[in-house]
Chains A and B, each alone.
Chain A
């Protein structure tokens, strides 16, 4: 499935804004993403499996609050750096 990568994380994806990965849950998807792009997961998911404060993940239009959210395999995933100013 396609994953939209925000610019602060594109140093991991060789500047690609959309990458492909797979998984039966968001947790598995992010694990596979990290295998392809080592280090990317820890910048958005902390060591207790919490989504970091300024990161949002959407599967289609549904915001992910729990990494165990199941995936069918054809959804569009957006990783977003919550907008902030100043």
Chain B
């Protein structure tokens, strides 16, 4: 029986499923799921792919999470979506009752409200049913029941340094906590990124966190050598060599080889006319030295489009010592693609398949490690995320 490869597509106007067999030559597009809802991230559980989780928001409504237990055929809403603890003390309640302050303000500072649930990560293989989400404003929330209920990770959300770590404030898209990576060797070893805030690491299951930004540029800050305040766009731990971490940052492409605590700017080896700015980064699951990026124009007001209007993927096969351009099949010119941080991914097939989705609603795929590209769907809404699930 042929394997089915499904690309899960999260868009500004709903979720879609693109299905093919393992040849990955032709693709069928599903009808939309939750049409009109903003789907920031949609992921199948690698431990049990019939479980899917989707982070959403609707234009007027607050954020929520939907989960499926039947491979996406039906969905239910989380009964306790991610939310910060209510911060209303007795005194404040009294003031609010008397009309002296708004209930979501405390000591002149706005109490935290989850504006969007932005990032999804399945938990460790030994923790079935456990998921993590990252939010705007920055927060980590944990589900132990496949997404039905969510609890705040207080070790991060209430960390004594939280206010300092997040004081750089919002990007135009919010202040996003993303790239929650769980070490496959140790479920208590976790990384995350905050855009803007930096990369952070926990070695005790999220009870405590430390910044991990040494060596990473932050040319927008007054103190370029600060411990935090950096702008990681995407962070990926290699699944088979978890000591190897790659980072696509606002200020370049980096690699870190633990136990070193210092980022090495491997983006300096990119062609100067292309630069090393972008959002996503994808690794080859079978080769820790191989990774792909999708460079974007980070000059001037940050167009976030393909440099020169000529889209290309760049690949390294030597951990960033050199990079090669891959653009066969992509438009040769006058194409201004934007690819968001969740919108590029790889499959688990041989040869390794790569996929990216654009803000113009196109999904491009390569079934040969980026050598040749073809557009497998057009005319979708703005794409926020892609992820892959394979089933027999």
- Chain A positions near chain B (C-beta within 8 angstroms): 6, 8-9, 38-39, 42-50, 52, 54-55, 66-68, 81-82, 84
* Nearest opposing residue in chain B for A45, CB measure: B62
Tell whether, in the assembled complex, residue A42 and residue B104 are in contact, meaning their CB atoms are under 8 Å apart: no
Which residues on the A side are within 8 Å of B83 (C-beta)? 42, 46-47
Tell whether, in the assembled complex, residue A44 and residue B86 are in contact, meaning their CB atoms are under 8 Å apart: no
Tell whether, in the assembled complex, residue A47 and residue B114 are in contact, meaning their CB atoms are under 8 Å apart: yes
Is B99 an interface residue when CB atoms closer than 8 A count as contact? yes
Contacts A42-B83, A48-B86, A82-B60 supplied; 9 other A-B pairs, CB < 8 Å:
A8-B60, A39-B77, A43-B61, A44-B61, A44-B62, A47-B83, A48-B113, A49-B86, A54-B59
Is B64 an interface residue when CB atoms closer than 8 A count as contact? yes
Interface size of B by Cβ–Cβ distance < 8 Å?
25
B65 to chain A, nearest CB (A): 11
Label chain A's interface by main secondary structure. loop
Query: Contacts A39-B79, A66-B99, A67-B103: A46 and B59 contacting too (C-beta < 8 A)?
Result: no
B137 to chain A, nearest CB (A): 12
Tell whether, in the assembled complex, residue B60 and residue A52 are in contact, meaning their CB atoms are under 8 Å apart: yes
Is B87 an interface residue when CB atoms closer than 8 A count as contact? yes
Tell whether, in the assembled complex, residue A48 and residue B87 are in contact, meaning their CB atoms are under 8 Å apart: yes
Tell whether, in the assembled complex, residue B104 and residue A46 are in contact, meaning their CB atoms are under 8 Å apart: yes
A14 to chain B, nearest CB (A): 14
* Nearest opposing residue in chain A for B78, CB measure: A39
* Nearest opposing residue in chain B for A86, CB measure: B59
Is B97 an interface residue when CB atoms closer than 8 A count as contact? yes
**B53-88 CB contact bits vs A (8 Å, 1 = yes)?**
000001111101000000000000101010111111
B72 to chain A, nearest CB (A): 18
Tell whether, in the assembled complex, residue B113 and residue A46 are in contact, meaning their CB atoms are under 8 Å apart: yes
**B157-174 CB contact bits vs A (8 Å, 1 = yes)?**
000000000000000000
**B112-137 CB contact bits vs A (8 Å, 1 = yes)?**
11100000000000000000000000
The 8 Å CB contact of A42, one of B60, B81, B85, B112, is B81
Which residues on the B side are within 8 Å of A67 (C-beta)? 103
Q: Could you give 19 example pairs across A and B, Cβ below 8 Å?
A: A6-B60, A8-B59, A39-B79, A43-B58, A43-B61, A43-B62, A43-B64, A44-B61, A44-B62, A46-B104, A46-B114, A48-B86, A50-B103, A52-B61, A54-B61, A68-B97, A81-B59, A81-B60, A82-B60
The 8 Å CB contact of B62, one of A38, A46, A68, A82, is A46
The complex places the Cα of A42 from the Cα of B62 at a distance, in Å, of 7
Tell whether, in the assembled complex, residue B81 and residue A49 are in contact, meaning their CB atoms are under 8 Å apart: no
The complex places the Cα of A54 from the Cα of B61 at a distance, in Å, of 7
Tell whether, in the assembled complex, residue A8 and residue B99 are in contact, meaning their CB atoms are under 8 Å apart: no
Is B96 an interface residue when CB atoms closer than 8 A count as contact? yes
User: B88-103: which have CB < 8 Å to A?
Assistant: 88, 96-97, 99, 102-103
Tell whether, in the assembled complex, residue A49 and residue B59 are in contact, meaning their CB atoms are under 8 Å apart: no
Sort A-B residue pairs by CB-CB distance and give the 6 closest, nearest first. A48-B104, A50-B104, A81-B60, A47-B83, A43-B61, A54-B60
Is B348 an interface residue when CB atoms closer than 8 A count as contact? no
* Nearest opposing residue in chain A for B97, CB measure: A68
The complex places the Cα of A44 from the Cα of B81 at a distance, in Å, of 13
A75 to chain B, nearest CB (A): 20
* Nearest opposing residue in chain A for B102, CB measure: A50
B198 to chain A, nearest CB (A): 26
B107 to chain A, nearest CB (A): 13
Query: Contacts A68-B97, A82-B60: A38 and B103 contacting too (C-beta < 8 A)?
Result: no
